[in-house]
Amino acid sequence: MAEYIANLIIIGSGPAGYTAGIYAARAGLEPVMISGFDVGGQLTMTASVENFPGYTRAVTGTELMSRMHEQALNFGVKIINDKVTEVDLSTRPFVLSTENGNCCKTKSLIISTGASAKWLNIETEKQYIGRGISTCATCDGFFYKNQPVAIVGGGNSAAQEALYLTNFASKVYLIHRRDLLRADSILQQRLFTNTKIEIVWNSVVEEFIGGQNISGIKIKNVLTDERKSIDVAGVFLAIGHKPNTELFKKYIALDEDGYIITKPKSTATNVEGVFAAGDVQDKIYRQAVVAVGTGAMAAIEAQRYLSSKET
């Protein structure tokens, strides 16, 4: 059984994790990243990224992440393809166990395990991910210029994304399973007065239809059992995210939705020496560029923390 003792371990290999790795390696911390088995994180499910500064042409999420991977390797980040299954943050150094039986010790830790979008888990959903189904309107809305789209959900994300989508789409159906929205009232007012938006109440998506790409959805009214099809070129799911924080909840303070609480203008958590970056601590923006920014912050803060312990 291998044993790793590091200055800094980064858990997770999304934009936040790689950025933290690059910054920490350049600061001479010899960081170790435990990538998880879904290397690259959520962005690898995005077909085309057009809003990442510096890329004048669209790049696939997979390519963007593989470039970050290569850049991290170039600076000497030690990347271990393994998954952390247990942490003990009550001792110093911190102790991590992994699925492949590695036990790692580290003086500091950056948690960048991200959040996972919730899916409807209905048949035909998987085959259309990246082919009409998206969980990020900010990322993919642009591709539906003058085409009808649907958004599923009734919270702030669904409301904001529906409004955002009206900048491109010819029509936006908001499919909600109840007759009451959870979204803030100011957003509800905007939804109700936007002529491009049609709210389909008390309805759930039963099936995605199409060929290679989506061409429509079958929905059911849960009160009347009435079923109908709607032609749409894209479907955006905004039914919530689940931060990947299960492993840490024994030690790290989480908010009511399970996101890690960080100190204001900082990535520091309630445990000294443990920092959190990216979507695992961000339920508002959920953008790769924001994750990148917090990844850099976390590495800088980890470096300062380690220096303060040396003196």
Residue 254, SS3 per DSSP: strand
Q: Is 160 in the site for ligand NDP (CB under 6 A)?
A: yes
Residue 94 or 236: which CB sits closer to ligand NDP?
236
Q: Is 154 in the site for ligand NDP (CB under 6 A)?
A: yes
Of 164, 154, 161, the C-alpha closest to 236 is 161
Q: Is 242 in the site for ligand NDP (CB under 6 A)?
A: no
CB 187 within 8 A of CB 238: no
Q: Is 120 in the site for ligand NDP (CB under 6 A)?
A: yes
Q: Is 218 in the site for ligand NDP (CB under 6 A)?
A: no
Q: Is 155 in the site for ligand NDP (CB under 6 A)?
A: yes
Residue 49 or 238: which CB sits closer to ligand NDP?
238
Q: Is 239 in the site for ligand NDP (CB under 6 A)?
A: yes
Out of 38, 88, 104, 140, pick the active-site residue.
Answer: 140
Which residues, at least 6 apart from 274, have a Cβ–Cβ distance to it below 8 Å? Answer: 89, 94, 108, 109, 110, 111, 251, 252, 268
Residue 140 is among the residues annotated as catalytic for this protein = yes
What residues numbered 276-295 form the site for ligand NDP, per CB under 6 A?
283-284
Count H helices, E strands: the chain? 6, 17
Chosen residue from 153, 273, 278, 293 binding ligand NDP by CB under 6 A = 153
Residue 108, SS3 per DSSP: strand
CB of 280 to ligand NDP, least distance (A): 14
Of 236, 220, 237, the C-alpha closest to 228 is 220
Residue 7 or 157: which CB sits closer to ligand NDP?
157
Q: How far is CA 209 from CA 28, 63, 93, 124, 131, in A?
A: 52, 29, 52, 8, 11
The pair of structure tokens assigned to 273 is 């020496």
- Which residues of this protein are in contact with ligand NDP, per CB under 6 A? 120, 152-158, 160, 177-178, 182, 204, 238-241, 257, 283-284
Known catalytic residues are 136, 139-140
